[in-house]
């Protein structure tokens, strides 16, 4: 079992989930192996919802919950298969090590499911989320309905369980926050090594490689998402991951990279000057984005919606675009007309947790959701002037800047858990030399 989340906490999560489904039955499938090419698979990463409830690490698993039973369907022990692909906990391990009240081979799920659905008023299952299971679930429901004359009732309602699960996952407990802080610490080390390599003549892929090396060396499973190392105009591509160019004097390098530690993500972006000095118009753009992030962080806290934080950051960016001569007019009017979206086209924040773009509703009852203690989110304003952008001065073209941090909402405000990675110009320049 993962060393990250104590077994007692996993049991508490399951109990809370079971209480919420009441008299119903919930089916939560795990992830499958995904083919990379021919007979080579991508590295396996478990479905976050199943990890959250029981930390089961193997593919092809299915969890079934009732108000008082937790059943796991898993790959059984198989010495021949394990010789090739590694050890399995098996059916026995599911009960002994992962808290299942009952466990069976995955191959028996289809046969056993009708018996689990009889006299259950509500089925919690996400149709379409795992298409291979949809026909099995539909046939199991038909099978139960065939016995209604004998007094057996079939579920009369199908409800998506993720409304419950994702609401639970939105609020991080102290154990989760400790893991996320550790992820931020490892990412700090990775960014430091990466910043030192931001010199002309080095390559984006060398920087990506040192990030991967630090992440793994410090006990992370690796990046929480494909690392973005964009120099020059590449920094204006929001999800640039080719990481194949050579750094040149006078460029900025946008590095969006965070590790995953015990299934919890960090998500941090810094923008560094090649050869260690911010100069000219690039320095001006950087200072505007830094100011926008500072204003947004100051705004953040309990009771504030992410839309409000976005508005604050955007207003500062728009004023900066006016200073740069890119836009003309009143800042508020320009925001309302969305004239800035050519240069700032994404939102300022997203939830963070087991997934880098984590689960949880952003609106409740049609209104933007207010932040509450235990929520974790990002603040990441940016400005992007593509090399072919005709609506700005030539001197701005090829400059992209984003600054991103991870924040935990507390009773008193917000704690920036990635704050140790420098952002101020003098601190960044000194950090790159150290």
70-74 and 102-105 beta bridge pairing: parallel
Q: What is the pLDDT of the chain when averaged over all its residues?
A: 97
Residue 310 annotated to the active site: no
Measured between alpha carbons, how far is 420 from 134 in angstroms, rounded to an integer?
47
* CA–CA separation, 358 and 408 (whole Å): 14
Domain with CATH 3.90.230.10 in the chain: 171-433
CATH 3.40.350.10 for the 7-168 domain, yes or no: yes
Quick count: other Cβ atoms within 10 Å of Cβ 119? 11
User: Annotated catalytic residue: which of 87, 146, 248, 357?
Assistant: 357
d(CA 423, CA 143): 61
* H helix runs in 279-352, sequence order: 280-299, 306-323, 331-337
Q: In what order do the strands lie in the sheet with 259-261?
A: 222-223, 259-261, 264-265
Give the pLDDT confidence score for residue 72 in this predicted structure. Answer: 98
Q: Range(s) for CATH 3.40.350.10 in the chain?
A: 7-168
Mark whether 384 is an active-site residue. Answer: yes
Is residue 267 part of the annotated active site? The answer reads: yes
Q: Could you tell me the end-to-end alpha-carbon distance of the chain, in angstroms, rounded to an integer?
A: 39
Given the residues 344, 350, 355, 358, select the one marked as catalytic: 350
Is-catalytic flag, 39? Answer: yes
427 is catalytic: no
Apex CA 227: angle with CA 221 and CA 230, to 5°?
165
- Among 132, 149, 239, 433, which one carries the catalytic annotation? 239
Is there a catalytic annotation at residue 239? Answer: yes
pLDDT in tens, 388-416: 999 999 999 999 999 999 999 999 999 99
- Beta-strand pair 228-231/252-256: antiparallel
Given 98, 225, 261, 384, which residue is catalytic? 384
Q: What is the CATH code of the structural domain delimited by 171-433?
A: 3.90.230.10
Give yes or no for a contact between 93 and 57, defined as CB atoms under 8 angstroms apart: no
8-state DSSP, 144: H
* Nearest alpha carbon to residue 184 among 376, 52, 434: 376
Percentage of the chain lying above the pLDDT 70 cut: 99
pLDDT, tens digit, for every residue of 97-128?
Answer: 999 999 999 999 999 999 999 999 999 999 99
338 is catalytic: no
pLDDT below 70 — which residues of the chain?
1-3
| Catalytic position from the list 233, 402, 405, 406 | 402
Say which of 32, 277, 346, 347 is annotated catalytic: 346
Alpha-carbon Rg for the chain in angstroms: 25
- Give the active site residue among 267, 355, 358, 405: 267
| Whole-number pLDDT of residue 133 | 97
Q: Is 350 a catalytic residue?
A: yes
Give the pair of three-digit tokens for residue 224: 């929480």
Tokens (6 digits) for 309:
């934080």
**Three-state SS annotation for 354-416:** CCCCCCCCCEECCEECECCCCCEEEECCEEEECCCCCCCCHHHCCEEEECEEEEEECCCCEEE
pLDDT at 148: 85
Among 49, 260, 262, 380, the active-site one is 380
The answer to whether 29 touches 46, Cβ cutoff 8 Å, is: no
Instruction: Say what the pLDDT of residue 3 is.
Output: 61
This prediction's pTM = 0.96
**Token match 């990506």: residue?**
208
């Amino acid at each position: 079992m993962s060393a990250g989340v104590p077994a007692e906490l996993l049991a508490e999560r399951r109990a809370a989930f079971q209480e919420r489904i009441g008299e119903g039955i919930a089916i939560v499938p795990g992830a499958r192996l995904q083919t990379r090419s021919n007979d080579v698979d991508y590295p396996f990463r478990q479905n976050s919802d199943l990890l959250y409830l029981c930390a089961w690490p193997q593919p092809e698993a299915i969890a079934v919950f009732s108000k008082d039973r937790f059943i796991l369907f898993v790959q059984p022990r198989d010495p021949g298969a394990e010789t090739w692909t590694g050890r399995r906990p098996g059916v026995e391990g599911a009960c002994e090590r992962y808290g299942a009240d009952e466990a069976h081979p995955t191959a028996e799920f289809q046969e056993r499911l009708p018996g689990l659905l009889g006299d259950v008023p509500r089925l919690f299952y996400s149709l379409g989320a795992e298409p291979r299971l949809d026909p099995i679930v539909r046939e199991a429901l038909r099978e139960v309905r065939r016995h209604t004359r004998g007094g057996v009732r079939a579920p009369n309602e199908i409800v998506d369980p993720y409304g419950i699960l994702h609401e639970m996952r939105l609020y991080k407990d102290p154990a989760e926050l400790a893991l996320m802080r550790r992820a931020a610490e490892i990412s700090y080390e990775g960014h430091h090594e990466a910043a030192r390599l931001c010199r002309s003549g080095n390559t984006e892929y060398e920087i990506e490689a040192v990030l991967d090396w630090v992440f793994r060396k410090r006990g992370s499973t690796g990046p929480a998402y494909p690392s973005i190392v964009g120099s020059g105009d590449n920094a204006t591509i929001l999800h640039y991951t080719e990481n194949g160019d050579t750094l040149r004097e006078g460029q900025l390098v946008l590095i969006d990279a965070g590790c995953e530690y015990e299934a919890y993500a960090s998500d941090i972006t810094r923008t560094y000057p090649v050869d260690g000095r911010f100069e000219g118009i690039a320095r001006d753009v950087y200072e505007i984005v830094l100011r926008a992030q500072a204003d947004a962080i100051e705004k953040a806290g309990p009771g504030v919606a992410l839309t409000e934080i976005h508005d604050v950051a955007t207003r500062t960016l728009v004023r900066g675009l006016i200073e740069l001569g890119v836009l003309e007019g009143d800042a508020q009017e320009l925001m309302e007309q969305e004239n800035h979206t050519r240069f700032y086209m994404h939102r300022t924040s997203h939830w963070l947790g087991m997934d880098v773009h984590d689960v949880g509703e952003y609106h409740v009852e049609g209104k933007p959701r207010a932040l509450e203690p235990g929520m974790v989110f990002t603040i990441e304003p940016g400005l992007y002037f593509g090399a072919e952008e005709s609506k700005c001065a030539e001197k701005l073209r090829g400059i992209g800047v984003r600054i991103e941090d991870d924040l935990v909402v507390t009773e008193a405000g917000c704690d920036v858990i990635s704050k140790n990675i420098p952002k101020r110009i003098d601190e960044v320049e000194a950090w790159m030399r150290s």
